Structure 1
Amino acid sequence: MFIYGLGSCEPKEEIVTTDSKAQLEFSTDSLKFNTVFVNTASASRAVWVYNRRSNAIKITEIKLEQANPAYQLIVDGQETTQANNVLLRGKDSLLVIVKVTIPATQDTAAFIQTDALSFLVNSNQQRVVLVSYGQNAYFHSKTEITTNTTWKADKPHVVYGSVSVAAGGKLIIEPGSKIYFHKDAALIVKGSLEVKGTVNKRVLFTGDRRERLYAAVPGQWLGIKFEATSTYNYIQFADIKNATFGLWAANPDQDETDYDLKIEQSIIQNMFETGILSHGADVQVTNTLITNCGQSAVLGLGGGNYNFTYCTLANYTVGFRPGSVTLLLTDQLKVADRPNQEYRVQLLMQNSIVWAGKHNSLIAQDQIQLKNEAGTTPQLQINHSVVQTKSYQDHPAFACCDNLLNVDPLFKAPIESAESNLLDFRLDSLSPVSNTAVATPAILKDLVDKNRHLTTPDPGAYERLNP
């Protein structure tokens, strides 16, 4: 082994070794990027480079082995295509950051971009593999849809800013479509929206950060809003995740003969505020799970008509505004500089579950609240449902009709655990509420299209795994 500066007064950690066996160590042997949309920068990935020796090491060059233009380097804080003669002191470390921007291709399916970080030390080459999964997409930026328009499922859709469906226009979303929203983006519906998912081709609405770290982070985009002119909206087999609000229905026509928004066999999950926010709208929800919302799973202001059949409203959010009520309906909406919007609340609930379990080891006693601030009388029909409530346990609409009050439904996995990060709101095999719903001839399937029991089905969005 030869040492530069032998006999000098340099500290040992600054004396450069020329040992041909000198090796660097890395925090990882590969950097993998989840699927990245073409022509959009992904999140960066970092690798730490360690010199475990007492003496310094001179890294002759740090570069991309194949010079793949999809990748960009930042070495020790400096953006570069190649760094030369980098001195790494003894027992010191170096941060190398890699960014990826994948150019467009003709591919409709995901494709792979590869390269490697190459480090040359004393004629020895070491490498860290780079792997990125790229995908072309349809990009929508501040778009207005004025006629009947179909979004195809052959490529993902990425929304920047907002997409607006004008009054008289209609947006149809094909089965299997995936819609990704950039920060603060939204879908604004003044006309109509038809989401045509199927059991095997569900439609996804979520944020455009596709790294695993963001898989369940709320507030990544705004949500889907239905304006006052919007009618005949239908959503089936859709997963709406990680927004500020899931669906905001602001079309209060006070017409109970028809529902402006119908939702079936869908999941609304991980909202920063609410799953469904209504300003006096008419909303029908069937076989749907709404869970983990920062405020309420369903918040209806200014009256409206609400019909929940075979639904699970389970706001189990831990440590995130836990005092919120899962289902909150009021007959008054206060709007600044305008008269209050007032209308009675009509709630029809059948074969559903409203539950939030425990927060901070305290039983959340009331997960439903009805406020008549305008003095109207709510019209309530509740039957064969499981409701967590103290205030309404003696109310005629709740204390009848085979409702189960304050009986824990025993979901399989309502809260993420160290063993599994998968939530499961099917009923456990020991659930005391199993087989307590009433058969509904018009609804023979559950959220995932499993057959309902013909005589004694389960309440909530899911029929049990082993009925």
Structure 2
Amino acid sequence: MRIYSLSFLSLLLVVLVSCRKDFDFEPQQGKLSFSKDTVYLDTVFTNIGSSTYTLKVYNRSNKNIKIPSVRLGQGEKSNYRLMVDGRAGKVFQNVELLAKDSLFIFIETTIDYNQYQNNLTEFLYTDRIDFGNGSDAQKVELVTLVQDAHFLYPQRNAQGVAETIPFDDEEIYGFYLSERDHNQKNTLHWTSDKPYVIYGYAAVPAEKTLRIDPGARIHFHDNSGLLVANKAKVASMGTPERPIVIQGDRLEPDFANIPGQWGAIWLTVGSTGTFENTVIKNPTVGLLVNKNSETVRLHNVQIYNATQNGILGRAAKIYGSNVVVGNAGIASFSGSFGGEYEFIHSSFVNYWSKPNHTAVMLDDYDGSAEFQLKKAVFENCILYSSSSESLIIRTAAAPENVHFQFKNSLIKYFAFGGGNQAAFPFDFNNPLYYNAILLSTQTDQFRPYFLNPQKNELMITDESVQIIGKGNLETAQKVPLDLLGKVRTSQPDVGAYQYVASPKE
């Protein structure tokens, strides 16, 4: 009897399962809902794959449905790629979707600009995803802006071995720029006709100069950058109307402020350079200047979102005016191993999201003559960060061999007991080192209200009443226009900008 009972129960279970309606699917008859009616895949460079974008498809009915067809409008010829229900392709049949459930579709593209030549350097590529057939068909549009570009990268020899360049006793993935490269182009002159996308480290050879024109757009790939060799030079000469922009090669808005997308602009021992009206975004180190032969000059330069330092000088010579250096993992500006530095009307503002960062850091290594801090002058500047101390000075030399001075500058220094009670090198009442400074030792003292630090809008606003007009007029005459072109020859503010109006609520 027990055997018969078991067989009966098994038969009953099969019958019950076969009668379930959960997995009966009816043909789709329109009525799908979508998270977007158009998917905009952000700008891509020719032949560089996009990020992956998501479309969510909803079945809001009480019935399980089977979508007869999910396909790209151009079918297999489309430059878009789909992933539907875990399957990659461009055309899919009989896609099942349970009642009150949803389906993810992942979308990517890679487009060759040369297949769509026009008189511009960019074009819109479009397609669509069709759902169903006939009168029940629905669609979602796909749109991508494609940019043409100059691509610079290491070449490969007949054996397929990639080009390298010697650096610090090793070979790194990179190539030399020249007046005539393998395509007979002058890669030592970067123009504004279309963007440059660079893979590996582009090196400026000795005795050569890299010229970068106003309006040029430079995009470095991951682990890429620029090396300037001994006796070589870089001249990045933008204008206020046509600044030069140097950043990573990910153009999606989500990457607009992601630090560390590429390496550095590295001026090696014996090199030099001039940077005017130049914006540098999202590097590991923005400018790394290493024991240069001539003074590197910076004017109207902005550097943002460096994972290490915005500017790192090593026994270097740097002069800067209207320089703005924003968030950095270590310091906005670091003058290490001594050197000679002078900045006027510059803003070093660091709101890095993790601790142990600062605005300005100076050191003379072991205090020996080779690494002497010969000069570090900051006039009409702002040194401010979200950390308690926006100025760090580490010195091993005797005070008489350490030469620095801060004049008419705002310095945040929340030391225990008040920063003005500290000894050398932080004896803020000593005019040999600190002259007419605005020392912020608590939150509401000389507080700068920046327009929007999260978006690197580091202008002080009219709420900054304690610091407005506190710049030295004689110093301001040296740089009569601020970074936005405003006249500062009367009541100059500290930092790179004259104050602006606070945003309205």
Common fold by TM > 0.5: yes
SS in 1 for 2:189: strand
Match of 1:445 among 457, 476, 481: 481
Kindly indicate whether residue 306 of structure 2 is the aligned counterpart of residue 271 of structure 1: yes
SS in 2 for 1:12: coil
Amino acid corresponding to residue 205 of structure 1 in structure 2: I
Kindly indicate whether residue 449 of structure 2 is the aligned counterpart of residue 411 of structure 1: yes
The residue that corresponds to 1:349 in the other structure is: 378
Worse-superposed segment, 283-292 or 88-97: 88-97
Q: Could you tell me how far 1:370 is from its partner in structure 2?
A: 1.8
Contact 1:52 1:90 in 2 (8 A): yes
Match of 1:295 among 326, 330, 337: 330
SS in 2 for 1:294: coil
Contact 2:374 2:402 in 1 (8 A): yes
The residue that corresponds to 1:53 in the other structure is: 61
Q: Could you tell me how far 1:121 is from its partner in structure 2?
A: 6.0
The residue that corresponds to 1:436 in the other structure is: 470
Match of 2:317 among 282, 302, 314: 282
Percent identity, aligned pairs only, is 28
The residue that corresponds to 1:78 in the other structure is: 87
The residue that corresponds to 2:408 in the other structure is: 384
Match of 2:498 among 458, 463, 466: 463
Q: Could you tell me how far 1:162 is from its partner in structure 2?
A: 1.6
Q: Which has the larger radius of gyration?
A: 2
Q: Cα deviation per residue 1:182-219 (whole Å; 9 max; x = unaligned)?
A: 11111111111111111111111111111111111101
Kindly indicate whether residue 121 of structure 2 is the aligned counterpart of residue 113 of structure 1: no
Amino acid corresponding to residue 287 of structure 1 in structure 2: N
SS in 2 for 1:460: coil
CA distance in 1, matches of 2:374, 2:89: 62
SS in 2 for 1:171: strand
CA distance in 1, matches of 2:392, 2:17: 80
Residues 87 and 348 of structure 1: is their aligned pair in 2 closer, same or farther, counting only changes over 3 Å? same
Amino acid corresponding to residue 72 of structure 1 in structure 2: R
Q: Could you tell me how far 1:345 is from its partner in structure 2?
A: 4.2
The residue that corresponds to 1:175 in the other structure is: 214
Residues 86 and 400 of structure 1: is their aligned pair in 2 closer, same or farther, counting only changes over 3 Å? closer
Match of 2:361 among 328, 340, 344: 328
Q: Cα deviation per residue 1:222-280 (whole Å; 9 max; x = unaligned)?
A: 1211111312x000111111111111111255xxxx51x11111111111111011111
The residue that corresponds to 1:95 in the other structure is: 104
CA distance in 1, matches of 2:312, 2:391: 15
Residue-pair matches, total:
437
CA distance in 1, matches of 2:404, 2:458: 30
Residues 383 and 213 of structure 1: is their aligned pair in 2 closer, same or farther, counting only changes over 3 Å? same
CA distance in 1, matches of 2:99, 2:298: 62
SS in 2 for 1:292: coil
CA distance in 1, matches of 2:211, 2:28: 66
Match of 2:45 among 8, 22, 37: 37
The residue that corresponds to 1:402 in the other structure is: 436
SS in 1 for 2:485: coil
The residue that corresponds to 1:163 in the other structure is: 202
Residues 455 and 464 of structure 1: is their aligned pair in 2 closer, same or farther, counting only changes over 3 Å? same
Contact 1:19 1:122 in 2 (8 A): no
Contact 2:449 2:464 in 1 (8 A): no
Kindly indicate whether residue 242 of structure 2 is the aligned counterpart of residue 242 of structure 1: no
Contact 1:180 1:206 in 2 (8 A): yes
CA distance in 1, matches of 2:151, 2:199: 8
The residue that corresponds to 2:266 in the other structure is: 225
Gaps of 5+ in 1: 1-6
The residue that corresponds to 1:3 in the other structure is: none
Q: Could you tell me how far 1:375 is from its partner in structure 2?
A: 4.7
Q: Could you tell me how far 1:55 is from its partner in structure 2?
A: 2.3
Q: Could you tell me how far 1:308 is from its partner in structure 2?
A: 0.7
CA distance in 1, matches of 2:253, 2:284: 19
User: Structure 1 length as normaliser, TM-score?
Assistant: 0.87
Mapping of 1:1-20 within 5 angstroms? 9-18=18-27, 20=29
Gaps of 5+ in 2: 1-15, 155-174, 180-185, 414-418
CA distance in 2, matches of 1:184, 1:19: 48
Q: Could you tell me how far 1:465 is from its partner in structure 2?
A: 2.8
CA distance in 2, matches of 1:340, 1:75: 66
CA distance in 2, matches of 1:226, 1:19: 63
Residues 229 and 40 of structure 1: is their aligned pair in 2 closer, same or farther, counting only changes over 3 Å? same
Match of 2:146 among 92, 117, 134: 134
Residues 397 and 315 of structure 1: is their aligned pair in 2 closer, same or farther, counting only changes over 3 Å? farther
CA distance in 1, matches of 2:407, 2:280: 28
Q: Could you tell me how far 1:340 is from its partner in structure 2?
A: 11
Kindly indicate whether residue 226 of structure 2 is the aligned counterpart of residue 214 of structure 1: no
CA distance in 1, matches of 2:21, 2:462: 64
SS in 2 for 1:272: coil
Aligned-pair RMSD on alpha carbons? Answer: 2.5
Residues 131 and 242 of structure 1: is their aligned pair in 2 closer, same or farther, counting only changes over 3 Å? same
CA distance in 2, matches of 1:400, 1:412: 24
Residues 294 and 422 of structure 1: is their aligned pair in 2 closer, same or farther, counting only changes over 3 Å? closer
SS in 2 for 1:293: coil
Q: Could you tell me how far 1:346 is from its partner in structure 2?
A: 1.4
The residue that corresponds to 2:189 in the other structure is: 150
Contact 1:26 1:47 in 2 (8 A): yes
Q: Could you tell me how far 1:408 is from its partner in structure 2?
A: 2.5
The residue that corresponds to 2:162 in the other structure is: none
SS in 2 for 1:213: helix
Amino acid corresponding to residue 225 of structure 1 in structure 2: W
CA distance in 2, matches of 1:61, 1:459: 64
Q: Could you tell me how far 1:44 is from its partner in structure 2?
A: 1.5
Contact 2:72 2:78 in 1 (8 A): no
Amino acid corresponding to residue 113 of structure 1 in structure 2: Y
Worse-superposed segment, 383-392 or 241-250: 383-392
The residue that corresponds to 1:373 in the other structure is: 396
